[in-house]
Structure 1
Amino acid sequence: MRIGLVCPYSFDVPGGVQLHIRDLAEYLLGRGHQVSVLAPADEDTELPPYVVSAGRAVPIRFNGSVARLSFGPIVANRVQAWLDEGDFDVLHLHEPAAPSLSLLTLWAAEVPIVATFHSSQSKLGALRAAQPLLQPGLDKISARIAVSEAAHRTMASSVGGTTLVIPNGVYVDRFRAEGDLEPDPAAPPRIVFLGRFAEPRKGLPVLLAALPLVLAQVPDAELVVAGPGDRSEIKGMLSDQVAGSVRFVGTVGEAEKVELLTRANAYVAPNTGGESFGIILVEAMSAGAPVVASALDAFQAVIGDSGAGVVFPVGDHRALAAEIVRLLEDPAEQRRLRAAGQERARQFDWSRVGARIEAVYDSVAVPLVGAGSPVPRAAGGASHGGARAGAGAHDPGAGHRGPTRTAGSGRHRDPDRPSWAAGSVAASVVPAASSGAERVRTRLRRWFTR
């Protein structure tokens, strides 16, 4: 199957959605599919061979973070060039309601579309205001996926529709260090924080407020902070009492991340909101790190009811300190959490998650069927009815709402044409002459003049 994945966020900056799309692409390639990913990226960014750059992105504040997005008429032409070259059987768009590559692709596409909704938000005014512009595109979606119940609620409340809940995936075995590393019993107890620590919603200030209380009980404990951000601002928040117990290591690679997590006596996720799925919790559990997390719905869904982690009330630094101290002083509990976390993480391995997403692709890329004919049910996903099911919303197992293209039955490429799976379309922008491109131009005019 020829599959096009669209990432709304820049590949220049690491993030959960980008990593999810990267891993999904690699899973699909391993399954024998032809895969191309369209994503924003600067010219000098080193990209995997299956990623096509749509040009640089601009920073936009979104959901308590800064998202780097690409949008506008020039980018729309690049999207059309990628679609024409790819001749895809299925498109998989991520965050199609955001002003991004995904929305532009949604407007232009003429093949079956799967959409994944990642974000969890409480403030939905902007999405609801844009509903008249978004709905014609959303009606084209054949199947909708939410990565969690929290993401499903956000989507249902803002744009409506029917969803399957399929979580993010992790290559669990990649987080199993060679030699099964564990914390050194002779070393100081290590607390680990991973994330964009300058963003308040990641909760580092909560952890720093808890640290003096932890050090009062476990004076040799060390906090290791990894991730991008201006550490000078955070260091200014540290008292002399705790400054010597905090170590900043900056952005880390995959191997360094694995070592940090496998050596951790406690991995702490003190996030305060804006999380729809705890992918870093799954990574930490895969590596065997005992997890202490704030009681966000998304985090509790990852930990489950199997005792695979410890939760504390969101923003409560005293409760967090008490849980950290209890864990650091109890090696047996650390061992129990390591084992339980690794067992729980298996539920999110790509071998399971990827198969469920493939089943969704199969359910939309089927031979033409008449109205009311059954479509194969996408395996493994919980289905939810939204507040307003769009005409194109797809519920595998329900009646099919219209004809779709058979996988591989569309236009056929000239075998002498250059590869569609790599490189940049920035230098090969085509005239916007197709009906899809005309729809995009019309909707862009409405978007920028509303």
Structure 2
Amino acid sequence: MKIGIVCPYAWDVPGGVQFHIRDLADHLIRLGHEVSVLAPADDETPLPPYVVSAGRAVPVPYNGSVARLNFGFLSAARVRRWLQHGAFDVIHIHEPASPSLGLLACWAAQGPIVATFHTSNPRSRAMIAAYPILQPALEKISARIAVSEYARRTLVEHLGGDAVVIPNGVDVGFFGSAEAKAEWQGRTIGFIGRIDEPRKGLPVLMKALPAILAEVPDARLLVAGRGDEEEAVAALPAEMRSRVEFLGMVSDEDKARLLRSVDLYVAPNTGGESFGIILVEAMSAGAPVLASDLDAFAQVLDQGEAGELFTNEDAEALAAAAVRLLGDPSRLAELRERGARHVRRFDWGTVGADILAVYETVTTGAASVATDERVGLRGRRWSARD
């Protein structure tokens, strides 16, 4: 099958949507499908052979964050060329309601279109206001996927229609087989995310850290991600700053090793999350998870059965839970075991099969419509001859 996938966000800026698209493309290629991904990318960005650049992205405030998107006449022309050259059996557009390549592809594409909705935003005035503009494009979509029940709810409430829920996928084996790194072990707490993006929650974790260190003085916080490291620790007492180690941007391999090494992974995100791929990655690597009680996180963690939850933006609650867990090896072992069982439903072997089933449904439907149209056309010709 020839599959075209449209990524709305800059390929060189790490994010859950980009990782999902990359891993989906890799999975489909391993199965023997022909895949091309269209994504915003700077000229100097190294790209996998299956990624086609649609040009430089620009930063735009979107869904409580700053997304790097690509939109305009030049981008539209590149989308049309990519579609014409690809002659795809199915086009899979991610975030078609965002002002980026997905919307442009919806306008330009012909044939079966599958759309995945990642955004969870229960009160998006912008999405409601944009609906008249989006409607003609959205009506061309053959099948809709939402990565969580909360992304599905956002779609239903703002844009109408419905979607099948298929979660983000993870290569569970990749994370599970990673080797721990000795220097990252020993009473370590892990955090991975953009340091300078408040909704990722690092300020909440930093606020909780003094209370954690007061009870567990040998604990360390390992932080992986880009951002201003000095600003991140500015509110910490000077004597505690050495207990925070910044690792900068890490490779996929080192991310897996980090998650394999830590005693506890903390996800203090404050909002705007529709899924929580990092939670699945952490569970895959065997890291016990402590996360804010966002609806999407609670769903991923099976309502607290596969990982513990604390009250969102409550640094005291975070600290109390972290101290309790770090002092209870049996509970940490229980969370590792439960997470390992729970995470199997997110493996690409399962998620990829579900997505392929959607592709096959829409392509089969399109083929049936085309056959009916040809039969109808022949019938009209015979009638004209009569």
**How far 1:177 sits from its partner (Å)?**
3.4
Q: Are the structure 2 counterparts of residues 182 and 405 from structure 1 closer, same or farther at C-alpha, using a change threshold of 3 Å?
A: farther
1:14 lines up with 2:11 in the alignment:
no
**How far 1:240 sits from its partner (Å)?**
1.7
Trace 1:297-316 onto structure 2 (pairs within 5 A): 297-305=295-303, 307-316=305-314
Amino acid at match of 1:347: R
Distance (whole Å) between structure 2 residues aligned to residue 244 and residue 367 of structure 1: 60
**How far 1:306 sits from its partner (Å)?**
7.0
Contact 2:2 2:34 in 1 (8 A): yes
Q: CA deviation digits over 1:33-52, x for unaligned, max 9?
A: 11100000011111110000
**How far 1:291 sits from its partner (Å)?**
0.2
Contact 1:308 1:341 in 2 (8 A): yes
Q: Are the structure 2 counterparts of residues 50 and 301 from structure 1 closer, same or farther at C-alpha, using a change threshold of 3 Å?
A: same
Amino acid at match of 2:78: R
Higher relative contact order (CA closer than 8 Å, sequence separation 6+): 1
Q: Are the structure 2 counterparts of residues 65 and 270 from structure 1 closer, same or farther at C-alpha, using a change threshold of 3 Å?
A: same
Distance (whole Å) between structure 2 residues aligned to residue 72 and residue 333 of structure 1: 53
1:235 pairs with one of 233, 236, 243: 233
Q: Which residue of 2 aligns with 1:248?
A: 246
2:321 pairs with one of 320, 323, 342: 323
Amino acid at match of 1:114: V
User: Which runs of 5 or more residues in structure 2 are unaligned?
Assistant: 373-386
Trace 1:74-93 onto structure 2 (pairs within 5 A): 74-93=74-93
**How far 1:239 sits from its partner (Å)?**
1.6
Q: Are the structure 2 counterparts of residues 368 and 73 from structure 1 closer, same or farther at C-alpha, using a change threshold of 3 Å?
A: closer
Matched positions, count: 372
Amino acid at match of 2:38: L
1:2 lines up with 2:2 in the alignment:
yes
**How far 1:250 sits from its partner (Å)?**
0.7
SS at match of 1:366: helix
Trace 1:275-290 onto structure 2 (pairs within 5 A): 275-290=273-288
Q: Are the structure 2 counterparts of residues 109 and 223 from structure 1 closer, same or farther at C-alpha, using a change threshold of 3 Å?
A: same
Amino acid at match of 2:63: N
Amino acid at match of 2:284: S
Q: Are the structure 2 counterparts of residues 44 and 31 from structure 1 closer, same or farther at C-alpha, using a change threshold of 3 Å?
A: same
Q: Are the structure 2 counterparts of residues 301 and 278 from structure 1 closer, same or farther at C-alpha, using a change threshold of 3 Å?
A: same
**How far 1:404 sits from its partner (Å)?**
5.7
SS at match of 1:280: helix
Distance (whole Å) between structure 1 residues aligned to residue 333 and residue 359 of structure 2: 40
Provide the identity percentage: 57
Q: Which residue of 2 aligns with 1:202?
A: 200
1:24 lines up with 2:21 in the alignment:
no
Amino acid at match of 2:249: T
1:190 pairs with one of 181, 188, 197: 188
**How far 1:237 sits from its partner (Å)?**
2.1
Distance (whole Å) between structure 2 residues aligned to residue 203 and residue 160 of structure 1: 31
SS at match of 1:14: coil
Distance (whole Å) between structure 2 residues aligned to residue 64 and residue 230 of structure 1: 19
Amino acid at match of 2:193: G
Amino acid at match of 2:267: A
Contact 1:152 1:163 in 2 (8 A): yes
**How far 1:184 sits from its partner (Å)?**
8.7
Q: Are the structure 2 counterparts of residues 178 and 211 from structure 1 closer, same or farther at C-alpha, using a change threshold of 3 Å?
A: closer
1:72 lines up with 2:36 in the alignment:
no
1:338 lines up with 2:371 in the alignment:
no
Q: Are the structure 2 counterparts of residues 29 and 115 from structure 1 closer, same or farther at C-alpha, using a change threshold of 3 Å?
A: same
1:166 lines up with 2:166 in the alignment:
yes
Q: Are the structure 2 counterparts of residues 178 and 311 from structure 1 closer, same or farther at C-alpha, using a change threshold of 3 Å?
A: closer
Q: Are the structure 2 counterparts of residues 123 and 249 from structure 1 closer, same or farther at C-alpha, using a change threshold of 3 Å?
A: same
Flag as ranges the 4+ runs of structure 1 deviating above 3 A: 181-185, 367-370
Amino acid at match of 1:200: P
**How far 1:235 sits from its partner (Å)?**
2.4
Give the CA RMSD over aligned residues.
1.8
Scaled by the length of structure 2, the TM-score of the pair is 0.93
Distance (whole Å) between structure 2 residues aligned to residue 89 and residue 277 of structure 1: 28
Q: Which residue of 2 aligns with 1:423?
A: none
Q: Which residue of 1 aligns with 2:346?
A: 348
**How far 1:337 sits from its partner (Å)?**
1.1
SS at match of 1:192: strand
Higher mean displacement: 329-338 or 99-108: 329-338
Q: Which residue of 2 aligns with 1:144?
A: 144
**How far 1:345 sits from its partner (Å)?**
1.1
Contact 1:225 1:247 in 2 (8 A): yes
Distance (whole Å) between structure 1 residues aligned to residue 117 and residue 366 of structure 2: 27
Distance (whole Å) between structure 2 residues aligned to residue 340 and residue 213 of structure 1: 28
Q: Are the structure 2 counterparts of residues 178 and 252 from structure 1 closer, same or farther at C-alpha, using a change threshold of 3 Å?
A: closer
